[in-house]
Amino acid sequence: LSFFLLLATALNSALLPSSGNQVLRIHVESEDHIQALKELEEDLDFWTHGFSTERPIDIRVPHTSLSAVKDFLKKNNVPFTVMINNVQELLDRETAEMVSNAKMERSTKSFNFAAYHDLETLYSFMDTLVASHPNLITKVHIGNSYENRPMYALKFSTGGVSRPAIWVDAGIHSREWVTQASAAWIANQIASNYGVDPSVTSLLGQMDIYLMIVTNPDGYVFTHTDNRMWRKTRSVNSGSSCRGVDPNRNWDAGFGGPGASKDPCSESYHGPYANSEVEVKNVVDLIMGHGNFKSFISIHSYSQLLMYPYGYTCTDIPDKSELHSVGTAAIKELTSLYNTIYQVGSICKIIYQASGGSIDWTYNIGIKYSFAFELRDTGYYGFLLPANQIIPTAEETWLGLKYIMEYVRNHPY
Amino acid sequence: MKTFCSVWLLLSVVELSPAPPASQEPPLACRGAADPAPPQPETAEDMASTGDLEPTHYPARRAAQVALHYLNTHHGSPFRVFGLQQVHKASAEDVEAGGRKYKLDFSVTDWASGSAGPALRCSADVLFPRTERHSAPDVKLRCEALQQINRTAQEEEAFYQKHITPDSAVSARDIPDSYGNMSEEMQPFWRLARVAASFIMLRESSENTEFNMAQVASVTQQESSEEQLMLEFVVLLHDLPSQEIVQWKLLASWSPDRGVRVLQTEWQPRCPHATKPPN
């Protein structure tokens, strides 16, 4: 009885820093030992639970009760060894490691995903993400924009040479701010999920992911400095006072056809020729140079749609059935989170005929799993989606995206 | 050049029905996207778009949006704006006078409550005329239980009393702001702008447009007249197919009794060399 009184007072001081605390490993050999330990279990910190004679039991003993516990064990003939001589030392080391990890993570953890950021902040976020996951992520400089800003894609890879890859881009239309914001969240999500989520881990074991958070940096800067509604690139159009080309009418798929404008002042101006925009050319060069992309997914807003090719014609693609059912299943995952309703269909039928679009080009060069998302909302806030919807949008989009990626992994071609 | 761009177009008083005039011509110096609703070539589906339509495809959805604009002009208020939830069934047929009539079965919700809110079932006939110069679509609409939806009479009255006083002089810009922020105080004004903009969106709609209000560039309260709140709005409309942002200035009145009326509208064309529309 007096033992427990002693223990009780000792335990109060267990709240103090753990200098001199020890972890004792107990080798239980009999039922008597088990009974003795059951007396201790209520009061001490057991690191291994479940008593049996087959496994040792570890208990963390505060400094102040060390002698009492050791006496108790000796008295009951329970053999033990001292495992961790000084818990504090171990904790200190762990803390030091955590602090340095936390510093890295704090920069990504202190990055406010529930806010819209300028280009510099997004680029800085990319750097800290890469720095805290050096064995998983590299920053690929794919070229420069019209106004000479670097264009970066984050490459998620666990090795190999030119593994089959998945491409995801956001912000090709600069005013669609929820897309760049969601892509930042998704980048972080992939990084955190690797090694934790079996699906993402297995995906990255076989394939690479290229994620481009800001595909139109000049336009993005312009939406911050001058015109929130700017959509296009910022290239100068010769013979016109209007600037910019619609980067999603500039790809070499039905270029110049219906659904794009030949007026430089138009929001859907296709440009003087296909790939005239360096932003588009840089992506094209990367895709062609790599040669092993299996999926290409472009993220836009708004309208809540998941679309597959074609935009330049309403004729069905040969893989229409498959892509439609992949899209439908992906949307089911997306909707499951917050009940956000999406529609699935080809670009031409579900939204409008549009020529020179990216996923039409990628499909035509053989990247079968080509999709385009239009994220929240359906027109209430439109481009000006409140920041408190960024994370829910990113979370649900991620579920849809993940489904597509898993499908691509499971259907090699 | 610049002075041309800062000259206002003359206003014309626009009565709401029966025959609204089409948009004014832009001053020569400011030819940007020349038409707020540039026509698009017909696609294969348009040609075949007689008979049953796929409810999730754009022809049905565009027609439903037109019905929504009509619904909002009649039943929108500072505390209620309707949004399309889903199109259930749709069909289209060419009509004798030259035009296409859409028959729609769809559901709407009070937009503020999102798709979670209670849905109203509606049916509509939307007739897009095929005339040389654009003319507004004609809408016949029936919604079930419209009278039974939560009346926002109390909020409307409170809002009205607060701002009908002679010293109320509300003035604000960029609602919501670039980051989607909109103060609680501004929300009824945003909704009023959205309802007033619905008159314009309804009038300007065709089978080749799909309008939403992108932002309220400004709201300026005018002197009350005949016990109506008088508000001057500048709104930015977004047309999905062309992706154009179209700016309109309008003068609207509102009271709980008379609802929203639009008294004047003025298209503010973009000047190519300006990055922001002229003020």
B120-141: pLDDT as tens digits: 999 999 999 988 889 999 999 9
Q: What is the nearest CA distance from B141 to chain A, expressed in angstroms? A: 21
Q: Does residue A66 sit in the same domain as residue A97?
A: no
Min mean pLDDT across B19-28, B182-191, B192-201 is at B19-28
Is the Cβ of B272 closer than 8 Å to some Cβ of chain A? Answer: yes
Q: Which chain B residues touch A350 with a CB distance below 8 Å?
A: 56-58
Considering only the beta carbons, identify the residue of B40, B85, B214 that sits closest to A382: B214
B246: pLDDT strictly greater than 60: yes
CATH number for position A376? 3.40.630.10
The per-residue pLDDT of chain B, averaged, comes to 83
Q: Which chain B residues touch A246 with a CB distance below 8 Å?
A: 243
Q: Does residue A69 sit in the same domain as residue A96?
A: no
Q: Return the H-helix or E-strand segment holding B252.
A: strand B245-255
Task: Tally A–B CB contacts below 8 A.
Answer: 113
With CA atoms as reference, report the closest residue to B160 among B256, B260, B259: B256
Q: Is residue B2 part of a domain?
A: no
Q: Is residue B19 part of a domain?
A: no
Q: Which chain A residues touch B83 with a CB distance below 8 Å?
A: 378-380
Place of tokens 């991620």: A398
With CA atoms as reference, report the closest residue to B61 among B203, B240, B238: B240
Cβ pair B72, B146 in contact under 8 A: no
A106-143: pLDDT as tens digits: 566 689 999 999 999 999 999 999 999 999 999 999 99
Residue B228 backbone class (left: φ over 0; alpha: ψ -120 to 50; beta: rest) = beta
Q: Which residue of A has its CA nearest to B241?
A: A352
Cβ pair B262, B247 in contact under 8 A: no
CATH number for position A42? 3.30.70.340
Q: Does residue A111 sit in the same domain as residue A51?
A: no
- Which residue, of A85, A120, A142, is where some domain finishes? A85
Of the listed A176, A277, A279, A374, which one is catalytic?
Answer: A374
Q: Which chain B residues touch A303 with a CB distance below 8 Å?
A: 240
Q: How confident is the model at residue A94 (pLDDT cuts 50, 70, 90)?
A: low
CA dist A399 → A133, A339, A349 (Å):
22, 13, 25
Q: Is residue B279 part of a domain?
A: no
User: What's the whole-model pTM score?
Assistant: 0.80
B161: pLDDT strictly greater than 80: yes
3-state secondary structure A355-389: CCCHHHHHHHCCCCEEEEEEECCCCCCCCCCCHHH
CB count within 10 Å of CB A400 equals: 26
Cβ pair A307, A323 in contact under 8 A: no
Is the Cβ of B41 closer than 8 Å to some Cβ of chain A? Answer: yes
CB count within 10 Å of CB B177 equals: 15
Q: What is the nearest CA distance from B214 to chain A, expressed in angstroms? A: 6
A340: pLDDT strictly greater than 60: yes
Q: What is the nearest CA distance from B165 to chain A, expressed in angstroms? A: 30
Q: What is the nearest CA distance from B156 to chain A, expressed in angstroms? A: 21
3-state secondary structure of A35: helix
Q: How confident is the model at residue B97 (pLDDT cuts 50, 70, 90)?
A: confident
Q: Which residue of B has its CA nearest to A228?
A: B178
Q: Is residue B4 part of a domain?
A: no
Q: Is residue B7 part of a domain?
A: no
Q: Is residue B199 part of a domain?
A: yes
Verify whether residue A374 is a known catalytic residue: yes
**What pairs with residue A306 in β-bridges?**
A344, A373
CATH number for position B160? 3.10.450.10
Domain containing residue A64? 1-9+20-85
Q: Is residue B275 part of a domain?
A: no
The per-residue pLDDT of chain A, averaged, comes to 89
Q: Does residue A165 sit in the same domain as residue A181?
A: yes
Q: Is residue B22 part of a domain?
A: no
3-state secondary structure of B186: helix
Q: Is residue A15 part of a domain?
A: no
Cβ pair B137, B207 in contact under 8 A: no
Q: Both tokens of residue A119?
A: 């280009």
Q: Which residue type, as a one-letter code, is found at position A184?
A: A
Is the Cβ of B67 closer than 8 Å to some Cβ of chain A? Answer: no
**pLDDT reported for residue B16:** 37
With CA atoms as reference, report the closest residue to A220 among A180, A167, A165, A187: A180
Q: Both tokens of residue B117?
A: 């809110």
The total number of structural domains in chain A stands at 2
Provide the 8-state DSSP code for A228.
Answer: T
Cβ pair A382, A302 in contact under 8 A: yes
Q: What is this model's ipTM?
A: 0.84
Among the residues of A57-176, which ranges form H helices? 66-75, 87-109, 119-132
With CA atoms as reference, report the closest residue to A219 among A204, A235, A197, A206: A235
Is the Cβ of B57 closer than 8 Å to some Cβ of chain A? Answer: yes
Q: What is the nearest CA distance from B129 to chain A, expressed in angstroms? A: 21
For an interface test with A, which of B212, B236, B239 has the most A Cβ atoms less than 10 Å from its Cβ?
Answer: B212
For an interface test with B, which of A226, A237, A300, A353 has the most B Cβ atoms less than 10 Å from its Cβ?
Answer: A353
Q: Does residue A383 sit in the same domain as residue A285?
A: yes
**Quick check: B240 and A227 CB within 8 A?**
no
Q: What is the nearest CA distance from A87 to chain B, expressed in angstroms? A: 49
Q: Does residue A126 sit in the same domain as residue A239?
A: yes
Give the separation between CA A176 and CA A144, rounded to whole angstroms. 21
Q: Both tokens of residue B262?
A: 């639009």
Q: How confident is the model at residue B41 (pLDDT cuts 50, 70, 90)?
A: very low
- Which residue, of A36, A53, A85, is where some domain finishes? A85
**Quick check: A386 and B56 CB within 8 A?**
no
**Quick check: B40 and A352 CB within 8 A?**
yes
Q: What is the nearest CA distance from B43 to chain A, expressed in angstroms? A: 7
- Which residue, of A63, A85, A107, is where some domain finishes? A85
Is the Cβ of B55 closer than 8 Å to some Cβ of chain A? Answer: no
Considering only the beta carbons, identify the residue of A223, A242, A349 that sits closest to B57: A349
Q: How confident is the model at residue B96 (pLDDT cuts 50, 70, 90)?
A: confident
**Quick check: B243 and A350 CB within 8 A?**
no
B147: pLDDT strictly greater than 90: no
Report the DSSP pairing between strands A165-170 and B211-225.
unpaired
**Quick check: A345 and B56 CB within 8 A?**
yes
Q: Is residue A14 part of a domain?
A: no
Cβ pair B29, B4 in contact under 8 A: yes
Taking only residues 73 to 102 of chain B, the set having a beta carbon closer than 8 angstroms to any beta carbon of chain A reads 81, 83-86
Q: Which chain B residues touch A261 with a CB distance below 8 Å?
A: 38, 242
Considering only the beta carbons, identify the residue of B40, B54, B83 that sits closest to A258: B40
Cβ pair A218, A149 in contact under 8 A: yes
Q: Does residue A40 sit in the same domain as residue A153?
A: no
3-state secondary structure of A233: coil
Q: Which residue of A has its CA nearest to B110?
A: A380
Considering only the beta carbons, identify the residue of A267, A339, A349 that sits closest to B45: A349
Cβ pair B190, B170 in contact under 8 A: no
**Quick check: B180 and A261 CB within 8 A?**
no
**pLDDT reported for residue A18:** 56
Q: Which residue of B has its CA nearest to A346?
A: B57
A167-177: pLDDT as tens digits: 999 999 999 99
Residues with Cβ within 8 Å of A343's Cβ and at least 6 positions away in sequence, in order, are: A304, A305, A306, A331, A350, B56
Q: How far is CA B61 from the centre of its chain?
A: 15
**Quick check: B276 and A343 CB within 8 A?**
no
| Mean of pLDDT values over B28-42 | 43
**Quick check: B179 and A378 CB within 8 A?**
no
The total number of structural domains in chain B stands at 1
**pLDDT reported for residue A398:** 98
CB count within 10 Å of CB A243 equals: 21
With CA atoms as reference, report the closest residue to A68 among A5, A1, A6: A6
